[in-house]
């Protein structure tokens, strides 16, 4: 993995966390901190389904916003999938699924660190 990619990932995570400061900081922080365990225990698909179902799937709510940020990273920035994140995840091969899961966890590592630094009460 190149240093440039890791720096890009860190910058993206920091930008997201700064954006989250305008909303329900504690909800964002809680979601970010519990999502890696959800991914590892249940898989990326179930973790994303949780985000879509939480807050009744309302756009602009913390869970939807976090899902959108993860989709933007995996789909738009990293190009692992095209189109809708959850749809692609369910329809593509296992290799891409694992790549998307790995990339999501790497991003969440940075997001967790920045959430601890910037989203505390």
**Domains of the chain, with CATH numbers?**
24-116 (1.10.520.30)
Structure tokens at 60: 């602009």
- Answer whether residue 1 shows pLDDT above 70: no
- Answer whether residue 13 shows pLDDT above 70: yes
Closest CA to 75 of 90, 65, 85: 85
Structure tokens at 79: 């190009």
Check residue 22 and give its pLDDT: 86
Q: What is the pLDDT of residues 29-52, one digit of tens each?
A: 999 999 999 999 999 999 999 999
Q: What is the pLDDT of residues 67-121, one digit of tens each?
A: 999 999 999 999 999 999 999 999 999 999 999 999 999 999 999 999 999 998 6
Higher pLDDT, 16 or 3: 16
């Amino acid at each position: 993995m190149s240093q440039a990619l890791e720096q890009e990932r860190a910058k993206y995570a920091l930008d997201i966390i700064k954006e989250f400061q305008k909303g329900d900081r504690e909800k964002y922080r809680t979601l970010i901190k519990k999502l890696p365990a959800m991914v590892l225990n249940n898989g990326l698909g179930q973790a994303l389904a949780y985000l879509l179902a939480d807050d009744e799937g309302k756009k602009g709510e913390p869970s939807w916003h976090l899902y959108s940020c993860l989709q933007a990273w995996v789909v738009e920035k990293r190009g692992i999938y095209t189109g809708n994140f959850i749809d692609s995840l369910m329809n593509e091969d296992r290799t891409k699924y694992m790549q998307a899961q790995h990339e999501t966890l790497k991003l969440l590592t940075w997001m967790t660190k920045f959430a601890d630094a910037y989203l505390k009460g």
